[in-house]
Structure 1
Amino acid sequence: MPKDDAEQYELTFWESIKDSTQASDYEAYLQAYPKGRFAPLAKSRIERLRAAAQKPERLEKPERLEKPERPPKPAAENPRPAPAAKPAPAPPPAQSAQSAQAEQRPAAAVAEIRDCANCPTLVSVPAGSFTMGSNSGDPSEKPAHRVEIARPFAIGKTEVTIEQWNACVAANACPRLSVAGDAGNLPARDLSWDDAQAYVKWLSAQTGKAYRLPTEAEWEFAARGGSASRYWWGEGMRAGMANCKECGDPWQQQAPAPVASFAANAFGLHDMSGSVWEWVSDCWHGTYKNAPTDGHSWNESFCSAHVIRGGSWREGASYMPVTTRFHYDTSVRQSQNGLRVARDIR
């Protein structure tokens, strides 16, 4: 089923969390689908995880989290076969000159901006035009259309990290992360669009600069890094370029890799594909019909769902193309969702 089918949204959500060990993931599913087809199973998982958390730790037999194998699931936990992943088309037999150039382009040296000690590092992205979306991809990516980014803007070199997020928590301006790790350079995640708005509001107050989420057009323009290919590095998947379960090491099932563990694109931006999904400012629309062509955010007066971009470490290679898009309700927290900040350059 296409990704913009209503049932597919629920199935995709469930597929992304069904192996999770975080009760908050199943709570997020129930918040989005209180009468969903997997609601009884989600409630059962929450009860089991909470019961396990109350048991004393058995030090003599620590859990072997490093094992990548997944145990087989009983039939009751898989009432319907999971939908097939979106197939990635085979690379063409001969590359165009433009695609070949994208394959060989090294990351350029870029000027970095940092407005405070706890602020994310920003990179300046030049003005320009590009073709947004894809006429050969998912229906939500159509129609491909020309977009003009009239002015340069600054965007996070990486996703916002746990350490950077916790500075906002310490100021009582952001909620405490329910999913975290030992390393401060892991991407902050399990965040709603509302949480992301609280963070950029705090950054703006700290720095006197107007921080915000990137628009969806800005995000794709930045993710492409000047390329016009399926992935920012070329037409075919290449190991070591993105943090996903089919993208090569370093990868682990339980959590994303630290930010900047993978190559930067030509604009100097890391993890635009994989790692965690990134909230953008736009309301969700099922297609690009009547989308703005000037790079502005596409919003409505009453908007219950917003766009996320980039895929996550839990998805396969078919979700890594720069055109892939999805959405969640504005208040839903999901352990694969994070953010990257942006601001105008005056």
Structure 2
Amino acid sequence: MRRRLIPFCLTVFIVAIWTGWTGWPGRVSAGLLPQNTQEQYELTFWDSIKDSRNAGDYEAYLKAYPNGRFVPLAKARIAQLRTGASGTPAAPARTPVPPASMPASATAPAAHAVAPAAQPAPAPAPAPAPKPGASPPIRSSSAVHEIQDCAACPTLIAITPGSFTMGNNKDDPSEKPAHPVRIATAYALGKYPVTVGQWNACVAAGACQRVPDTSDPGPNAPIHNVSWDDAAQYVKWLTKASGKRYRLPTEAEWEYAARGGTTTRYWWGDDMMKGKVNCKDCGPPWRAEGPDNVGSFAPNPFGLYDMAGGVWEWVSDCWHSSYKGAPTDGRSWEDAYCQSRVIRGGSWLDGQGYMLTSTRFKYDQSVRYTANGFRVARDMP
């Protein structure tokens, strides 16, 4: 009996370590990156959707892993969800789908160079009043310079040049090595992620596709369920609408702005604090159906909102599994044959382990997922 028990316990321990589990107190895990292998990505992705009531989650698995080990089960789940016991289509219900590495599987919508009809940008919801006895929110500097180039354009914050240490040597391997980066040129970054209302202005102009969403978000919610290709369409339209060169931020620009001049694990300090970000175990406000309105939490020291939680944010860079060889001047890190792009910041569907300022992940640039959104950047004169 003892001979059998020892190998069994050893096996359980090895599997636990391999899947990224740990029982040690105080550890913060980036969550989805214990190993940079396709097999681990597939297992992690399946584990995240195995109890889903949304057929679209299983369809996404089949697109990503057409020869995967769970293909028969995914097809059976789709059939079961598409046809309920009464023979009528089952109503979809969204469940958290964490980031995963996806092969190219969807065709990006075609861009349309159509002049926009100016529409007022939705005003973000005000930050909630602090509870009695709670720590006051960190306020942005009075020197924050806001920019809005057109009625339908997102509000921007001017970001001054500077240097910082990018990455983290203590967490996920993809964040290593921590390295110095010099942002030599001023740029502007969206004060908030792009909202549903702002996205719909592009839709009304015929330049973007309407994004399906079962939660029926209001105009002040961040747009989500968009691919990198969708985001590229939007900034192309915004460039034409405003006469300014809009783009996605580089990964270095994003992290520099997210840190807001701080060197801690989060922009507010080294410890997670409840009520600072929109994530599922980070305190209220939170709801499973979708992200809260932009601006529902305090801004970072640069005056930027929702740089952690809310929605994952696309940046311009191609994905690399570490920072070895990364540029140190803040430019976008590109490859000749780039399919996967970087996303940053975590989302409302994720736990607090994703909220570290250094956390990063990837998606295929043509794939839409519920938790993915973006914010815009533009060059400064």
For 2:184, the equivalent position in structure 1 comes to 150
For 1:30, the equivalent position in structure 2 comes to 62
More displaced 10-residue stretch of structure 1: 140-149 or 161-170: 161-170
Give the distance between the partners of 2:201 and 2:317, measured in 1 at CA.
26
Give the distance between the partners of 1:3 and 1:262, measured in 2 at CA.
33
Residue 207 of structure 1, aligned match among 242, 249, 252:
242
Give the distance between the partners of 2:218 and 2:364, measured in 1 at CA.
29
Q: Superposed, which structure 2 residues align to 1:1-346 within 5 Å?
A: 1=18, 2-18=34-50, 20-51=52-83, 55=88, 106-109=139-142, 110-179=144-213, 181-346=216-381
TM-score in terms of structure 2 length: 0.74
Instruction: Kindly indicate whether the alpha-carbon contact (under 8 Å) linking 1:25 and 1:334 is maintained by their aligned counterparts in 2.
Output: no
For 1:100, the equivalent position in structure 2 comes to none
Q: Deviations over 1:254-299 (max 9, x none)?
A: 2111111111101111111111111100000000000000000000
What secondary structure, in the 3-state scheme, does the structure 1 residue paired with 2:350 have?
Answer: coil
Q: CA 1:30/1:325 → structure 2, altered by over 3 Å: closer, same or farther?
A: same
- Quote the sequence identity (%): 59
Question: Which 5+ residue runs of structure 2 have no aligned equivalent?
Answer: 1-17, 19-33, 97-135
More displaced 10-residue stretch of structure 1: 112-121 or 219-228: 112-121
Q: Please provide the CA RMSD for this pair.
A: 2.6
Q: CA 1:16/1:192 → structure 2, altered by over 3 Å: closer, same or farther?
A: farther
Instruction: Kindly indicate whether the alpha-carbon contact (under 8 Å) linking 1:16 and 1:314 is maintained by their aligned counterparts in 2.
Output: no
Letter in 2 for 1:135: N
For 1:93, the equivalent position in structure 2 comes to none
Letter in 2 for 1:130: F
Q: CA 1:290/1:118 → structure 2, altered by over 3 Å: closer, same or farther?
A: same
Letter in 1 for 2:322: T
Give the distance between the partners of 2:48 and 2:226, measured in 1 at CA.
15
Instruction: Kindly indicate whether the alpha-carbon contact (under 8 Å) linking 1:240 and 1:263 is maintained by their aligned counterparts in 2.
Output: no
Instruction: Kindly indicate whether the alpha-carbon contact (under 8 Å) linking 1:245 and 1:251 is maintained by their aligned counterparts in 2.
Output: yes
1:25 deviates by: 3.5
1:21 deviates by: 4.8
More displaced 10-residue stretch of structure 1: 35-44 or 303-312: 35-44
Alignment length, in residue pairs?
Answer: 306
Give the distance between the partners of 1:113 and 1:22, measured in 2 at CA.
40
Give the distance between the partners of 2:302 and 2:50, measured in 1 at CA.
35
Question: Which 5+ residue runs of structure 1 have no aligned equivalent?
Answer: 71-102
Q: CA 1:19/1:57 → structure 2, altered by over 3 Å: closer, same or farther?
A: closer
Give the distance between the partners of 2:346 and 2:304, measured in 1 at CA.
15
Instruction: Kindly indicate whether the alpha-carbon contact (under 8 Å) linking 2:139 and 2:303 is maintained by their aligned counterparts in 1.
Output: no
Q: CA 1:131/1:147 → structure 2, altered by over 3 Å: closer, same or farther?
A: same
1:150 deviates by: 0.4
Letter in 1 for 2:69: R
Instruction: Kindly indicate whether the alpha-carbon contact (under 8 Å) linking 1:31 and 1:332 is maintained by their aligned counterparts in 2.
Output: no
1:15 deviates by: 4.5
What secondary structure, in the 3-state scheme, does the structure 1 residue paired with 2:317 have?
Answer: strand
Letter in 2 for 1:287: S
Letter in 2 for 1:226: G
Please identify the structure whose Cα radius of gyration is greater: 2
What secondary structure, in the 3-state scheme, does the structure 2 residue paired with 1:280 have?
Answer: strand
1:125 deviates by: 1.1
What secondary structure, in the 3-state scheme, does the structure 1 residue paired with 2:139 have?
Answer: coil
1:57 deviates by: 10
Letter in 2 for 1:248: G
Give the distance between the partners of 1:243 and 1:113, measured in 2 at CA.
25
1:181 deviates by: 1.9
